Amino acid sequence: MKVFLQTYGCQMNKLDTALVTSALKKAGFSLADSEKGADVVLINTCSVRRHAEQRVLSHLGHLKHIKKSKPNIVVGVIGCMAQRLGAELLEDKTVDIVCGPAQIPQIAELVTKALQEKKRTLAITEKIRQKSPEDEALEKFESVFDSEDSQVPAQAYVRVMRGCNNFCTYCIVPYVRGPEVSRPPAAIIEQVKRLAGNGVKLVTLLGQMVNSYKYSTCGKTYCLADLLSMVSEIEGIEWIRFVTSYPAEEFYEQILKAMADLPKVCNYLHMPAQSGSDKILKAMNRNYTASKYLELIDKARENVPGIAISGDFMVGFPGETEEDFEKTVSLVQSARYKNCFVFKYSPRPGTAADKRLQDDVGEEVKKRRNIKLLAVQEEISDELSKEFIGKKVKVLVEGLSKKPRLSSCGEKSYPPSLKLRRTSPQLVGRTAEDWIVVFNGPVSLAGEFAKVKITRTSPLTLFGEM
């Protein structure tokens, strides 16, 4: 039987898809390249913004048509949207399985039942904020199955924490992923060793507030800096990243020290600020001020030379005035991020902001602020990327560049000859600091390190030659 998996959302979801894929393969399923050739379609979903959910709903609309000509095809919705909407999703006759993030260990069983017994199932956590016995099953599932990214060779995500306890007022994550749980260091290390044995060179440690990782055992408390040091010891692992960091003092100095001292730890920090206005930060329940945030960024730059920092921002949070927004603009100008992600506030049912605050910033205003903030960042990214011209960088090659970009042969781009395109197509890789690098080279370099001399740049991409 063939399964087609489609993933929406963040790295956590990509990781869950990798684990589900590995579990289904072990249970005897194989992967289909498209829905057409599949007996089972699983959609791994995201609930962070309404737009993400709408994309899933229109995907389900498309599957409804496919199901008319292929009535036996099994459709499953897994992940955050499954947990949030539960039985409501099963009302749609297209859907056979609704499986929350905590129930993915059951996925092979649920799919088999749906295929053999035509059984439609709802598997979600009833009381999501309570410590659940399912956690043990999740831990086992996580440590047994493979988490390599099937799309990108030599890279894998490793979850070090599940859930979140921070309750930022806009955020759905605590309600769909449950309470914060740090995984045992021994399990994480075993998993990374196994990945290294399978040829993984870059591991990205994942947690919603990854810098607050804390696990106590045998009288010792382990923090993220301890994990970074233990993972550094593993032969075969060459680069280590961690996302996402929350702006907080606890463990910060230890983590920066680990970045500075451990050569395998990439000098890259993804630390969302969300807003530059203290009033909005307070309303968001983010426990820092804009000046504290900038202080943390300065500390990172002082302690880790060459560090690249990226951020997330939200525009149009309830009550955000032009003045508040201008404070965000000025924070972006001061922080000088490598890049940042900007989102328009989207009310999420059940969150404190949705219950207590009116979504009072109009769509047009949100759009304008989004465009402006991205433009401010683009200028900074452009300046920072230009500093690379003439320099050599080490990249981990991901594979063929998906977007055909301009030739990296020179300023005056011309289409490479057919022969050159075959023997030396356009590849994409990333530096340790997460800069995207595009150059021509053999496809066999995917999953390998390469040295590239940068010849020209755009705000988000460096172009060069091997």
Q: Would you tell me which residues interact with ligand SAM (CB under 6 A)?
A: 10, 48-49, 170-171, 173, 208, 244, 246, 272, 274, 312, 314, 343, 345-346, 348
- In whole angstroms, what is the distance from residue 69 CA to residue 59 CA? 16
Q: Does 341 bind ligand SF4 (CB under 6 A)?
A: no
Q: Does 173 bind ligand SF4 (CB under 6 A)?
A: yes
Over the window 193 to 222, marking each residue x when it contacts ligand SF4 by CB under 6 A and - when it does not, the resulting string is ---------------xx-------------
Q: If binding means CB under 6 A, how many residues of this protein chain bind ligand SF4?
A: 10
**244 vs 461, beta carbon nearer ligand SF4:** 244
Residue type, 183: R
**314 vs 462, beta carbon nearer ligand SAM:** 314
**49 vs 264, beta carbon nearer ligand SAM:** 49
Question: Which has the closest alpha carbon to 244: 11, 18, 433?
Answer: 11
158 binds, among ligand SF4, ligand SAM, none (CB under 5 to 8 A by kind): none
Task: Assess contact for 213 and 224: CB atoms under 8 A.
Answer: yes
**22 vs 166, beta carbon nearer ligand SF4:** 166
345 binds, among ligand SF4, ligand SAM, none (CB under 5 to 8 A by kind): ligand SAM
The secondary structure of residue 148, as a DSSP letter, is B
Q: What are phi and psi of 156, to 5 degrees?
A: -150, 150
Q: Min. distance of Cβ 48 from ligand SAM in angstroms?
A: 5
**74 vs 273, beta carbon nearer ligand SAM:** 273
167 binds, among ligand SF4, ligand SAM, none (CB under 5 to 8 A by kind): ligand SF4
β 220-223/181-182 pair status: unpaired
**260 vs 376, beta carbon nearer ligand SAM:** 376
Q: Min. distance of Cβ 158 from ligand SAM in angstroms?
A: 17
Q: Min. distance of Cβ 268 from ligand SAM in angstroms?
A: 15
Please report which helix (H) or strand (E) contains residue 242, including its range: strand 239-243
- In whole angstroms, what is the distance from residue 377 CA to residue 310 CA? 10
Q: Which residue stretch of 163-171, 211-219, 381-389, 458-466 sits at the interface with ligand SF4 (rule: CB under 6 A)?
A: 163-171
Query: At what angle are helices 11-26 and 134-144 packed, to 10 degrees?
Result: 80
Please report which helix (H) or strand (E) contains residue 378, including its range: helix 363-386
- In whole angstroms, what is the distance from residue 291 CA to residue 313 CA? 16
**Could you give the C-alpha distances from 175 to 11, 29, 320, in angstroms and in order?**
18, 32, 25
Q: Return the CA Rg of the chain.
A: 23
Residue 183 class from Cβ within 10 Å (0-12 exposed, 13-18 middle, 19+ buried)? buried
Q: Does 164 bind ligand SF4 (CB under 6 A)?
A: yes
Q: Does 314 bind ligand SF4 (CB under 6 A)?
A: no
**170 vs 463, beta carbon nearer ligand SAM:** 170
Helices and strands: H and E segment counts in the chain:
16, 21
- In whole angstroms, what is the distance from residue 360 CA to residue 241 CA? 38
Task: Assess contact for 192 and 203: CB atoms under 8 A.
Answer: yes
Over the window 246 to 265, marking each residue x when it contacts ligand SF4 by CB under 6 A and - when it does not, the resulting string is x-------------------
Name residues whose C-beta falls within 8 Å of residue 109's C-beta, 6 or more positions apart in sequence. Answer: none
Please pick, from the candidates 171, 188, 202, 281, the single residue that binds ligand SF4 as defined by CB under 6 A: 171
Please pick, from the candidates 168, 205, 225, 380, the single residue that binds ligand SF4 as defined by CB under 6 A: 168
Any idea which residue has 């960042």 for tokens?
Answer: 377
**210 vs 308, beta carbon nearer ligand SF4:** 210
Residues that bind ligand SF4 (CB under 6 A): 164, 166-168, 171, 173-174, 208-209, 246
